[in-house]
């Protein structure tokens, strides 16, 4: 929002790629933990609660809002991790449980309607019964990353990681390409909200988005199976390094944006990109600079970690 005013569809499309990958990776890691290490339920509850507590602190300390109302991404992942053994069990009983989650999501959206505006309440504001209703609506299907349908995308990773389906993915990868092209065109030609400057194409996360996300993740996991990332050794090394500290970078970037950038008119330094006069040089430079800074911060943390291990 600080660099792009009224972003064109191709930028909105690029923005939309990250969240399905991020959520499915969380599901993949939990699935691998269960298969390889078979942790007990309390392990997942503890990890999930830590993420939920961090999400609450972000809402309170950075945004000055009551927690939970936004139901942003850490709430979702914390919730999914906390109930992971249950999700794993219902998946093993029937893969159709994922389809049920998606269908239930679409039913909620159609039955109760979808509010494009997120309601958040500053600390000290009066909370009434209407606020409680809004809380449950946003947690279930209207928040930034509501339980429905995003739990389904968390569980999709179980399917793509399951040995039973790997041969099918490797053999019929071209179907993923075909459906990805079809659903991408469909997604780009349906009306999508921009929420508080967030221009991703999953507001609302309806059946068009879900079909697109599944086809996209199908291709992502196919490339993982083919170890495509190993051909880009520098990129994989970079991602491995910053991935170790991803939670820190998530919290840090929220603090940076809300507590620092919002108080400066950075358009003086990086003029906003307007759709009627596109010039994306500043945008690309800002991304490059961000990735460059993140790398050296992660390198600094990694050196500290190695010194502690050696000592």
> Tokens 């390198």 appear where?
299
pLDDT score, position 48: 96
pLDDT score, position 185: 97
CA distances in angstroms from 64 to 125, 137, 249, 272, listed in the order given = 11, 21, 20, 27
CA distances in angstroms from 183 to 61, 90, 179, listed in the order given = 39, 28, 6
Structure tokens at 42: 């309390």
pLDDT score, position 262: 65
> In degrees to the nearest 10, what's the CA dihedral of 206, 186, 152, 255?
-80
State how far Cα 217 lies from the chain centre.
Answer: 13
Q: Which among 82, 70, 160 has a CA at the least distance from the CA of 118?
A: 70
Contact (Cβ atoms closer than 8 angstroms) between residue 4 and residue 272: yes
> Tokens 């190993």 appear where?
230
> In degrees to the nearest 10, what's the CA dihedral of 142, 143, 144, 146?
-80
Q: For residue 220, what is the enclosing H or E element? A: helix 207-225
CA distances in angstroms from 286 to 4, 86, 263, 281, listed in the order given = 11, 42, 18, 9
**Dist CA 39 CA 29 (whole Å):** 12
SS3 percent helix, strand, coil of the chain, rounded to 5, is 75, 5, 25
**DSSP β-bridge partners for residue 122:** 65
pLDDT score, position 268: 58
Contact (Cβ atoms closer than 8 angstroms) between residue 221 and residue 162: no
Q: Which among 79, 49, 218, 194 has a CA at the least distance from the CA of 148?
A: 79
Q: What is the pTM of this model?
A: 0.90
Tens-binned pLDDT, residue by residue, of the chain (311 aa) = 566 667 888 889 999 999 999 999 999 999 998 888 888 899 999 999 999 999 999 999 999 999 999 999 999 999 999 999 999 999 999 999 999 999 999 999 999 999 989 999 999 998 888 999 999 999 999 999 999 999 999 999 999 989 889 888 989 999 999 999 999 999 999 999 998 888 999 999 999 999 999 999 999 999 888 877 667 777 778 888 998 999 999 999 888 877 776 666 555 555 555 555 556 777 777 788 888 999 999 999 999 988 887 77
Residue 74's SS3 state is helix
Contact (Cβ atoms closer than 8 angstroms) between residue 122 and residue 72: no
pLDDT score, position 277: 58
Residue 273's SS3 state is strand
pLDDT score, position 235: 79
Q: For residue 223, what is the enclosing H or E element? A: helix 207-225
Within 8 A by CB and 6+ apart from 140, the residues are 108, 146, 147, 148
Contact (Cβ atoms closer than 8 angstroms) between residue 147 and residue 139: yes
Structure tokens at 49: 């609660």
**DSSP β-bridge partners for residue 273:** 4
């Amino acid at each position: 929002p600080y660099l792009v005013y009224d972003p064109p569809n191709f930028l909105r499309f690029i923005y939309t790629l990250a969240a399905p990958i991020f959520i499915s990776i969380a599901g993949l890691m939990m699935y691998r933990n269960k298969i390889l290490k078979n942790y007990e339920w309390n392990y997942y509850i503890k990890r999930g609660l830590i993420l939920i507590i961090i999400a609450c602190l972000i809402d309170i300390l950075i945004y000055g809002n009551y927690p939970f109302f936004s139901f942003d991404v850490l709430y979702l992942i914390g919730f999914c991790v906390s109930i992971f053994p249950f999700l794993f069990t219902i998946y093993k009983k029937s893969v159709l449980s994922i389809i049920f989650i998606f269908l239930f999501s679409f039913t909620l959206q159609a039955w109760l309607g979808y509010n494009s505006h997120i309601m958040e309440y500053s600390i000290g504001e009066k909370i009434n019964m209407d606020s409680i209703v809004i809380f449950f609506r946003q947690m279930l299907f209207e928040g930034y990353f509501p339980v429905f349908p995003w739990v389904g995308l968390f569980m999709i990773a179980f399917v793509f990681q399951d040995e039973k389906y790997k041969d099918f993915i490797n053999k019929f990868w071209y179907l993923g390409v075909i459906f990805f092209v079809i659903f991408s065109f469909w997604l780009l030609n349906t009306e999508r909200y921009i929420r508080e400057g967030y221009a991703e194409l999953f507001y609302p996360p309806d059946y068009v988005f879900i079909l697109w996300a599944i086809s996209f993740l199908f291709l992502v996991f196919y490339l993982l199976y083919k170890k495509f990332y190993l051909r880009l050794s520098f990129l994989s090394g970079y991602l491995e390094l910053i991935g170790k500290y991803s939670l820190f970078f998530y919290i840090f970037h929220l603090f940076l944006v809300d507590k620092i950038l919002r108080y400066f008119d950075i358009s003086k330094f990086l003029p906003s990109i307007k759709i009627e006069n596109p010039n994306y040089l500043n945008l690309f430079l800002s991304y490059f600079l961000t990735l460059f800074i993140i790398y050296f911060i992660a390198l600094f943390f990694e050196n500290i970690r190695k010194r502690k291990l050696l000592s």
